[in-house]
Amino acid sequence: MLDKVIILGCERCRQLGVRMRFAPIQDLVAINRERSRQEHPDWRPILPIFDPDCSDLRDDNVFALIGRNADGEDVVTQAARFLDWNGTNFKKEAESLRLFYRRPLDRAGEDESVTVTATMAKSITGRVVFTGAHWVRPDYRGKDLTRITPRIAKAVALQRWRPIDMACTIMAKDVFDRRIARKAGYYNHEWTVDLKNTPTGTFPAALLWAWPADIIVDLERFLETL
């Protein structure tokens, strides 16, 4: 079933004029930085968890998906990261900034902090997949890519890092208010993860999560809609 999600999801992207490919995480970071240089008003810098300059990223614990149009332009990105949190949990890793940095004391900015009041954060532990870095170029929004690419990423993550105990992410309130979480297949949320003076900015975020069984059900429903 997971193979089918990946194959048919990528085929649907092709029908929308986008060819998906696996890419080095550095390529995704480069796209993010180029968008930042262009000062797009809709652009938020990438979370440090997906930046190899900040975090311990290797071929076996992260992957990036990048979609290009017929002109070779990057129009969609998506990533997922595996985290071995046996003996710890989301709240501890986020508030210590280990979620973002390999050496928080060396890399964290002045007055940078993350405060987690979402009670579920203590239960996100074990073998965890963190998804994110999702972006769709404005002229490609409304074409279903926000529904497709996060599910391709979850299917790849379940294949690559099975078994997993949980998938999770955080989503800024302004994005969450546009109902993007449900479009991306996250149906559980709790407030709040407060980011302060991070490279991504200062804002409140929702904690989103999904258990593996729920991901499978969602992917099966996704296939039915294709």
State the Cα–Cα distance between residues 2 and 78, nearest whole angstrom.
17
Comparing 38 with 80, the larger pLDDT belongs to 80
Cβ atoms of 124 and 209 closer than 8 Å: yes
Pick from 66, 99, 77: which is nearest to 170 by CA? 99
The pLDDT of residue 174 is above 90: yes
pLDDT of residue 42: 60
pLDDT of residue 24: 96
pLDDT of residue 12: 97
The pLDDT of residue 177 is above 80: yes
The H or E element containing residue 208 is: strand 201-210
Half-sphere exposure of 209 (CA within 13 A, CB side): 18
Q: What is the pLDDT of residues 70-120, one digit of tens each?
A: 999 999 999 999 999 999 999 999 999 999 999 999 888 889 999 999 999
pLDDT band, residue 45 (cuts 50/70/90)? confident
The pLDDT of residue 23 is above 80: yes
pLDDT of residue 41: 59
Q: At what angle do helices 212-225 and 2-15 cross, to 10 degrees?
A: 40
pLDDT of residue 33: 86
The CATH number covering residue 177 comes to 3.40.630.30
* Percentage of the chain lying above the pLDDT 70 cut: 96
Q: Which domain range does residue 67 map to?
A: 2-225
Q: What is the pLDDT of residues 188-212, one digit of tens each?
A: 999 999 999 999 999 999 999 999 9
Comparing 172 with 39, the larger pLDDT belongs to 172
Q: State the total domains in the chain.
A: 1
CA-to-CA dists, residue 201 to 18, 47, 115, 214, angstroms: 30, 9, 14, 31
pLDDT of residue 107: 87
pLDDT band, residue 144 (cuts 50/70/90)? very high
* Percentage of the chain lying above the pLDDT 90 cut: 90
Q: What is the pLDDT of residues 148-159, one digit of tens each?
A: 999 999 999 999
